[in-house]
Amino acid sequence: MNQQTLSKAATAAPATKRMNLLQAVNSALDTAMTVDPRVVCLGEDVGKFGGVFRATSHLQEKHSSLRCFNTPLTEQGIAGFAIGLAAQGSLAVAEIQFADYIFPAFDQIVNEAAKFRYRSGDQFNCGGLTIRAPYGGGIDGGLYHSQSPEAYFCHAAGLKVVVPSNPYQAKGLLLAAIRDPDPVIFFEPKAIYRASTGEVPEQDYELPLGAAEVVQVGTDITLLGWGAQMIQINKAAQLVANEGIACEVIDLCTLLPWDRETVAHSVRKTGRLLISHEAPLTGGFAGEIAATIQQHCFLNLEAPIARVAGLDTPFPLAQEKYYLPDYLKIVEAIKTTVSY
């Protein structure tokens, strides 16, 4: 390659900027609003204040109060208003301040947004709806600022459920979610809002919904997770590598629809699967994954499918570190599964 070709390649390379996950979310919103005038942001304090975590900082001053505006403290109203906006052609991005408070909006999301297209024979739809919600523990938030409610929404046909685990994913997946033809619930792992950093393209780009990411290739066991739990999974994989256990690590990225083919392909190779999430074990989405993989990979399994999850109790305050499924619990489960 000559100097001229190198120069052209360098010029063509997309410009990147080091961002944390929160900044990547803000960049995605700014990009979407700049490119498409139909995009509007709404929620509690999302305007001049920029939201409780500052995810919408400077969006109102840049794009006007008509496109980034505050709502009353009523989650049902936020969801209902956003559904109406999407139904009349807007790309509505609603923020629920904490995922713990999404439950008052559950009826609007599950009985209206998810079914809007189906109840009208596709004459009407609210596919331009995206609902953002910070979820999960790790901030000493106690019972009402720490929950992981993703499994509730994975049971609602008509929705898509997305959970990024790093800044690059956060921007690409959020842009894809905003433009997707179906309503999307976009859960953001607030524990790593500022802790997770990386190079993110400053330009507009999308990552496909429904596609998992193989983070690390291995042969002995498949480790599967999403969101902030990927930090614990990756740490566990590094520790057991010192003992000769080669883990294949997969970040699910999208829970509904989830990438069954990528996970099944990995399990057919490794013969073992461990799934980890913060939400309580009983009724957690790991159970759905385990049932599906058992059905499609039964003859390939060398051990029972393992689940490492939160406890079946309300999320504690003082005992948060004992409740969360950390890397030590995952390491123990890996060793048990591999030696089965």
Contact 55, 29 (CB under 8 A): yes
Count, residues in the chain: 340
The active-site residue, picked from 44, 75, 95, 112, is 75
Sort strands 247-251 and 213-216 into parallel, antiparallel or unpaired.
antiparallel
* SS3 state at 69: strand
**Residue 283, by phi and psi: left (phi above 0), alpha (psi -120 to 50) or beta?**
left
155 is an active site residue = no
* SS3 state at 60: helix
320 is an active site residue = no
- For residue 197, list its beta bridge partners: 20
The active-site residue, picked from 63, 95, 112, 145, is 145
Strand runs labelled E in the chain: 16-20, 39-43, 68-70, 91-95, 129-135, 160-162, 184-189, 197-201, 213-216, 221-225, 247-251, 254-256, 273-280, 306-310
In the chain the first and final C-alpha atoms are separated, in Å, by: 52
Which residue numbers are catalytic? 75, 145
